[in-house]
Structure 1
Amino acid sequence: KRKMVNSTQKRQKKNKPQNEVIDDIPEEEKLRLIKSTGLFNKLEAENERREQIDQNDPFNYGFTFQAFLYTIPLCAVYSMLDVVVHRQYNEDVSFIPFSARVIKMAPIIWIFVYYTNKHVNKNWIQLLMFLGSILCGSHLIWVINKASYYGVMRRCPSLATLWVYFIVQLRLLPSVLSL
């Protein structure tokens, strides 16, 4: 008879869930314990410290300033590519038309960078930039190989600048895959 009881007890123990959490402390007592340990005060102090660090961070600028900072090197890339393409076909690069092209391109680059840089960490923007990088790179190769020299001079600087921007903004793996 004793063996039967033991086997019955063993079966009952096996049927009990082992990860059962027993929570028999009343809510008021839980709140009193948390307040007495000072966890809320530590959490508030940590949040205030983080806000202070964010306010004092010299690299925590708004998206407008970040877009401006990206626009300067992208305009330099556009300018360099424009000069290189014109010199490739032995065309003279005069200052006035060259400056006019760069001045026309700068606001377009700034607006594009502003809107894409706001959401650059979102997956759907990363996907669009990945696809845009593949399309820009493929079209750039096609333009260089198949278009007339005038078409190359008109399309290559802007396409290559857009391609460089996409590559810079992508995460590492998509950036390498899109090359």
Structure 2
Amino acid sequence: MVRTRKEKKAAEGIKLSHPDRTAAPSEDTLLKLAQDRNLFEEAERQKRKNAKHRDSDDESDDGDDILSSTADRVLEAILWSISLSMLHFTLDVLVQHQYAISIIWPQIIIRSVQASIVFFLLIYVLHPHVSAPSFVPGLPVRFQYPLRQILFLTASVTSGCYLVHISNRYSYLAVMKQSPPLGCLWVWSVIELDLPYAVLSLACIGGFFYQGGYTIKQPY
């Protein structure tokens, strides 16, 4: 905007100078107003209150994590037990088909459900989980994993060798009754083992099969 000559002349007549900073302010400053109203103390109390709320929230979050870990363990056990019960169902059908027995589906389903309950309990206790690294109370944690591997190695060799034995020496009724749960236990034990121990267990079963003179029976 263009100034007129009159405005320019009036502006030139105003003397420029710094404000006077030596005198005390005539009105209350913001700092003094805050001190008069105890705003700083109120802010400090609010800060402590917020800190207490954060601590309580952290404790509740820890409880939620523990509950969540337990739920994960239960869901994992359910998933494993369902998978093994499906394997039990398949083996039960195959062994009855092998001996040319009429398949009664309701009985097979009931046996699979019963097996799933047993598998759930075993898996919940024995399957390694981050929320429950110990399954033997009082035993140091560093010994828990080797003990679990020894347990599964023993279960794998025992169930595999016994399955080979009953398949060659027992009657067909005993084979039909015992082979599905033994087969599931054998498979689960091998899965839980580390690779060297799994290979060792299969080698032991193969040596038992060879030394015992067993044969693989052909279906009827």
TM superposition score category, shorter chain reference: 0.5 to 0.7
1: CA distance, partners of 2:159 / 2:115: 17
User: Residue 60 of structure 1: CA displacement?
Assistant: 10
2: CA distance, partners of 1:177 / 1:109: 24
Q: Give yes or no for the alignment of 1:91 onto 2:114.
A: no
> 2:175 maps to what in 1?
152
Q: Give yes or no for the alignment of 1:162 onto 2:185.
A: yes
Q: Which has the higher contact order (CA 8 A, sep 6+)?
A: 1
- Written as runs of structure 1 = structure 2, the 5 A alignment for 1:1-179 is 62-118=72-128, 122-179=145-202
- Structure 1 residue runs of 4 or more that deviate by more than 3 Å after TM superposition: 118-121
> Number of residues paired by the alignment?
125
Structure 1 counterpart of 2:178, one-letter code: R
> Which of structures 1 and 2 has the bigger CA Rg?
2
Q: Secondary structure at the match of 1:122?
A: helix
Native 8 Å contact 1:63 1:117 kept in 2: no
2: CA distance, partners of 1:69 / 1:173: 26
| Comparing 110-119 and 166-175, the one that deviates more | 110-119
Percent of pairs with identical residues: 27
2: CA distance, partners of 1:109 / 1:60: 18
Q: Secondary structure at the match of 2:90?
A: helix
TM-score (normalised: structure 1): 0.64
Q: Secondary structure at the match of 2:127?
A: helix
TM-score (normalised: structure 2): 0.53
1:13-45 superposed Cα distances (whole Å, 9 cap, x missing partner)? xxxxxxxxxxxxxxxxxxxxxxxxxxxxxxxxx
1:96-153 superposed Cα distances (whole Å, 9 cap, x missing partner)? 1111111111111110111111458711011011011111110000010101000000
Q: Secondary structure at the match of 1:91?
A: coil
2: CA distance, partners of 1:106 / 1:170: 21
2: CA distance, partners of 1:97 / 1:73: 19
1: CA distance, partners of 2:73 / 2:94: 31
User: Residue 62 of structure 1: CA displacement?
Assistant: 2.3
2: CA distance, partners of 1:109 / 1:122: 20
Unaligned runs of 5+ in 2: 1-64, 129-133, 136-143, 203-220
